Amino acid sequence: MELMYPQIVTGADLLRGIIKLDTLAPLLKRRGATAVAIVNSKLYGARSFYKVMQKQGIRPVFGLSIYIEIEKGKSVFAYVYAKDDEGFRNLLKISSAVSTKEFETLPLQWLGAYSKGCILLVSITDKSWEGVNWVDTLSLLINRVGKDSLVVGVSRPGGVVHFEEETIENSASALGLSIAAVYESRYLDKEDAFAYEVAEAIRTGYKLNDPSRPKNIHNDAYVPEEQEIKEWFIGKHKWLENMADILLTCNADLPPNEQLMPIFPVPEGETAPSLLAKNCMVGLKKRLGTIEKQYEARLRYEIDVITKMGFADYFLIVEDFMRYSADNNILTGPGRGSSAGSLVAFALGITDVDPIKYGLIFERFLNPGRVTLPDIDIDFADNRRSEVIEYVARKYGQAYVAQIITFGTLSARSVARNVARVFDFSNEEMAFLSKEIPSRSRITLEEAIGESKAVLDWIAIDPIRSRWLKAAQTLEGLPRNASTHAAGVILSPVPLVEVVPLQNGADDIYLTQWPMGDVEERGLLKMDFLGLRNLTLLDRIRAMISYDKGVQINFEAIPLDDESTFTLFRTGDMTGIFQFESDGMRNALRLIRPNSFEDIFAITALYRPGPMENIPLYSRRKNGEEKASYLHPLLEPILSETYGVIVYQEQIMQIAVQFAGFTMGEADLLRRAVSKKKREILQQERIHFTQSAIQNGFTEKAATEVYDLIVKFADYGFPKSHAVAYSLISYRLAFLKANETAYFYAALLSSMTGNNDKTMALLREAEAHGVSVLPPSVNHSQYMYTVDHSSIRIGLGAIKGVTPTFYKALKEARHSTGKWKNLFDMAASLGSDIFTEKAIQPLIKAGALDVFGESRAVLLASIDAAIAHALFIRPDDGEDLLSDLMPAVARPKYSPGGTMPRMALLEYEREVLGFYLSEHPAGEAKKTANETYTDIAETGEQGFVKIVGLVMEIKRIRTKKGEAMAFVTVQDETGEISCTFFPKQYATSSSDLVEMSMIHIDGTLEKRGGKVQILVQQTKNR
């Protein structure tokens, strides 16, 4: 008998199995297995399984575990195997059908439609068959799939014989059905049974000590040795032979790779190429006015290449949804990646970058010598990206569009925490593991623990922790959950279910069961719809300006030579500017001192590991401190724009064209080949390049030197097309910051709601730019930050406790009655159901009711009186016939509230806003002091520092020697910092340590545990 494994549930099945292919395949090969079948609950991992097993010389068989709904509320378990290619296609449909139903079962009537080319093995010893009339149910299945395609499966887990085995045999015999042995494997070795149980607990959300946790029914679901299989089915070797026959009958292969290009619906009398050419000419004329010969020739060349490569439909599809975006005011990016090098993309409105103006190369994007699908990635404002995906699904049909699945795996930290949770470890232990095990990508649990003596010591204390570690290491790296790829969308010319398995996704758009690599390998077109937060920021600024001024900003019309914008870049004033916010990038800007848009995108390309070594050289040459030099005179026209420094991949291609006479397509292939740094390829290309250069009239020495230059910079080169396109976003943001400063900060603040530290920093920066900040106001504020007479008005949404629902009611009431004069007007307008203490108290604490001219203490004390007034004016029962008359009659009075201490007022603001709106005492102290103090937010990480602030918290402790010391939290208007008073200093300064009092501190900065603290040297109570 040949050794075969007919039911393998792999780790790809989201913890329903924990078998890893990289350990399974070599094991089966060593044992001499000839065939193996995957039977996951979905077709997760099917392609990888096929390729890995085939590589080991083992016949891979596609299978699926399903539940067949035989009647309402009753389903039975079965395996479906693909016998041939038609069976595989039906397996795609079965998996899709099951995965798009609420209860993930296959209706009996659907089974017949999808059964051709498949073998159905009903696992009659499974618990789902209990209480089922076997003969009747099997007869139903025979009617659906035919007797030749139905087999009865019987399992003997661990060799245990089912108590009704004889009855099963009789039933099968009576119906003329054969019986096959079932021995399902969900983990590799016997010792992995506990790890599998842990995986099940993680998957189902139970803890191991939970008495309600379902009992594990897979105690012997390991991968048995051949002898064990024979022993389990002793006396029933015919069943094993029948199972082997099933697997040997199955010859389904992975479908061959093919290009499945979607079709764009063209008008009658048009073809995709003719429509593409027409739209390109119209679009280019609209952009340029007059089309010069250079542009026309380039356009015709690109259209010819696109048409010959069969991509005309693709460009029309992208043009169509970009037009939809423009028509619906959905902001898109100016381009991304190499697609910005296409004049066709520019003409169709797919990009905003003129490739001829910026010297961009089409072949970097689409190379006739390298037939791969073009990659046009589109950025959208992230709050409206889904609208475009929904449009594409509507236009081409739900069955033809899907988003791509992605799997979250159990990384070192993730598996440690997940397993710890089901072990019911304490919160302290969970926090300890999170702290000690880093979240670095690719680090293994073994490596992480090896780096932490604390974890090793912790494990050694308790044997249960050793079990935790063993289980965690077994599960490490397995897929834990499925989610939607951040950008990928696929579009097919045929219903997707014909080529890829599907499952339910979000917003009525299907999700593929295969990840991006498998989907692309199948030949489906993937388009990336990326959400970019910075485009949302641009869009918000544009919308605010349009609303307030009635002017619609055309981003393409923004001048690229605005001096105020370049001043921001040169000074490194880059808060809120895409790509340029980091300290390193700001330093590069100050060093290079850009005065043209070309400098901006050069810095974008240079500021990366490797190329950034050339930033000082670029700066010296750009600013006339050093003369640019060139290895060969022919390089000067190519490298002069970057002062003799190779910055872009396109420059490498141009060098190959000029020196070796390569076509642009050949130059692109050279660039790709050399960047791989493989010795054989480097030598092959060296010979190719130098021989071509010699034939082109250059000396061997010159050719070799230039080739060496190409090799050196092949990894450094950055796509110029991407640098130009993304720098346009950066420049546009900087332009608005320089020229519409209040709107820029208002929009940026709105995007930072909830991030208190960044909000405080932005408010300070806005004021430093001459933009005043107005407090929230129930009469003037909208939900988000807005611009109010050139000042920024804080929105009510910035106040904790103010919900969108409450704001909507407030806005409607304010619109109906006009601005309120006092608290009681507001209460009467809103009504007592909206005007509640819970809703109004945060508004008062934030200063949003200061407009009424009363102190916050009085307003807080008067809330009950205002509610009573609202009930009097508008009773809850809705009888408000006198509501128009009552305000004139009722004259409510404010309740006395006393005086609110300044610190209480500040703390209230911090409580509901997350920052101080009124001036902090530390701010006042800094203004009147004779000394210069550092803002806590600007202290840095080392060196001597002087601060002044409020003592917020004091934690007094004693050292091992019994000496007193303290850890003190000090706060100014910019933030908080921990200050350490060692015993000697504490003895001197203890009298200065009074909570909520001002203190002056001199000390040195130290970073410990990832946080900066001050080691105090001197204090003074203010």
The reply to whether 119 falls in a domain is: yes
Distance (Å, whole) CA 690 – CA 705: 10
Q: What crossing angle do the helices spanning 165-175 and 134-145 adopt, rounded to 10°?
A: 40
Distance (Å, whole) CA 515 – CA 488: 10
Low-confidence stretches of the chain (pLDDT < 70) are 875-890, 1022
Q: What is the pLDDT of residues 1004-1013, one digit of tens each?
A: 999 887 789 9
Q: Facing residues of 947 across strands?
A: 1001
Residues 416 and 332 in one domain: no
Residues 721 and 791 in one domain: no
In single-letter form, the type of residue at position 354 comes to: D
Distance (Å, whole) CA 840 – CA 801: 9
Q: Left (φ > 0), alpha (ψ -120 to 50) or beta: where does 137 sit?
A: alpha
Domain with residue 937: its CATH number is 2.40.50.140
Residues 294 and 369 in one domain: yes
Residues 627 and 608 in one domain: yes
Instruction: Classify 927 as helix, strand or coil.
Output: helix
Instruction: Specify the pairing of strand 1011-1021 against strand 975-981.
Output: parallel
Contact between 234 and 274 (Cβ < 8 Å): no
The reply to whether 747 falls in a domain is: no
Domain with residue 440: its CATH number is 1.10.10
Instruction: Classify 288 as helix, strand or coil.
Output: helix
**Number of folded domains in the chain?**
6
Structural tokens at position 441: 């990508």
Burial of 418 (0-12, 13-18, 19+ CB in 10 A): buried
| Residue whose tokens read 């520019």 | 346
In single-letter form, the type of residue at position 657 comes to: V
> What secondary structure letter does DSSP report for 337?
G
Instruction: Classify 1013 as helix, strand or coil.
Output: strand
Residues 440 and 383 in one domain: no
Residues 776 and 901 in one domain: yes
The reply to whether 439 falls in a domain is: yes
What is residue 537's predicted lDDT score, i.e. its pLDDT? 97
**817 Cβ partners below 8 Å, 6+ apart?**
825, 829
Distance (Å, whole) CA 939 – CA 53: 59
Taking CA atoms, 973 is separated from 660, 915, 921, in Å, by 64, 8, 8
Whether pTM > 0.85 for this model: the answer is: yes
Residues 416 and 317 in one domain: no
Instruction: Specify the pairing of strand 4-8 against strand 35-38.
Output: parallel
Measuring CA to CA, which residue among 425, 8, 396, 38 is closest to residue 252? 38
The reply to whether 748 falls in a domain is: no
| Dihedral sign computed on CA atoms, order 682, 684, 688, 693 | positive
> What secondary structure letter does DSSP report for 131?
T
Residues 19 and 148 in one domain: yes
Measuring CA to CA, which residue among 320, 506, 504, 498 is closest to residue 396? 320
Distance (Å, whole) CA 826 – CA 867: 10
List the 791-793 sheet strands across, edge first: 773-774, 791-793, 786-788
The reply to whether 197 falls in a domain is: no
What is residue 411's predicted lDDT score, i.e. its pLDDT? 94
Where do the H-state alpha helices sit in 476-582? 516-521, 533-549, 563-571
Last residue of a domain, one of 515, 534, 553: 534
Q: φ and ψ at 489, to 5 degrees?
A: -130, 135
N-terminal to C-terminal alpha carbon distance within the chain: 92
What is residue 881's predicted lDDT score, i.e. its pLDDT? 47
What 869-875 contacts at long range (C-beta under 8 Å, 24+ apart), as own/partner pairs, is 869/824, 869/827, 869/828, 870/827, 870/828, 870/830, 870/831, 870/832, 870/835, 871/832, 873/828, 874/828, 874/831, 874/832
Distance (Å, whole) CA 865 – CA 861: 8
What is residue 412's predicted lDDT score, i.e. its pLDDT? 95
What 977-984 contacts at long range (C-beta under 8 Å, 24+ apart), as own/partner pairs, is 977/936, 977/939, 977/947, 977/1012, 977/1013, 977/1014, 978/1011, 978/1013, 978/1014, 979/1003, 979/1013, 979/1014, 979/1016, 980/1013, 980/1014, 980/1015, 980/1016, 981/1016, 982/1015, 982/1016, 983/959
Distance (Å, whole) CA 720 – CA 359: 9
Q: φ and ψ at 148, to 5 degrees?
A: -70, -20
Structural tokens at position 160: 């245990």
Q: What crossing angle do the helices spanning 649-660 and 679-695 adopt, rounded to 10°?
A: 50
> What secondary structure letter does DSSP report for 362?
G
Distance (Å, whole) CA 908 – CA 901: 11
What is residue 755's predicted lDDT score, i.e. its pLDDT? 87
Residues 495 and 454 in one domain: no
Residues 826 and 764 in one domain: yes
What is residue 322's predicted lDDT score, i.e. its pLDDT? 97
**592 Cβ partners below 8 Å, 6+ apart?**
599, 603, 615, 618, 619, 622, 623
**1003 Cβ partners below 8 Å, 6+ apart?**
944, 945, 979, 1014, 1015, 1016, 1017, 1018
The reply to whether 201 falls in a domain is: no
Distance (Å, whole) CA 742 – CA 786: 9
Distance (Å, whole) CA 124 – CA 468: 36
Q: What is the 3-state secondary structure (H, E, C) of 382-419?
A: CCCHHHHHHHHHHHHCHHHEEEEEEEEECCHHHHHHHH
Distance (Å, whole) CA 59 – CA 37: 8
| Host domain of residue 877 | 757-913
The reply to whether 214 falls in a domain is: no
Q: φ and ψ at 127, to 5 degrees?
A: -60, -30
Q: φ and ψ at 972, to 5 degrees?
A: -120, -170
Last residue of a domain, one of 494, 519, 534: 534
Measuring CA to CA, which residue among 392, 388, 379, 295 is closest to residue 344? 295
Residues 936 and 904 in one domain: no
Q: Facing residues of 511 across strands?
A: 403, 503
Residues 553 and 510 in one domain: no
Contact between 360 and 341 (Cβ < 8 Å): yes
Domain with residue 17: its CATH number is 3.20.20.140
In single-letter form, the type of residue at position 812 comes to: E
Taking CA atoms, 64 is separated from 6, 239, 903, in Å, by 11, 20, 67
The reply to whether 263 falls in a domain is: no
Structural tokens at position 66: 């399903």
Measuring CA to CA, which residue among 381, 373, 324, 314 is closest to residue 344? 314
Last residue of a domain, one of 534, 559, 575: 534
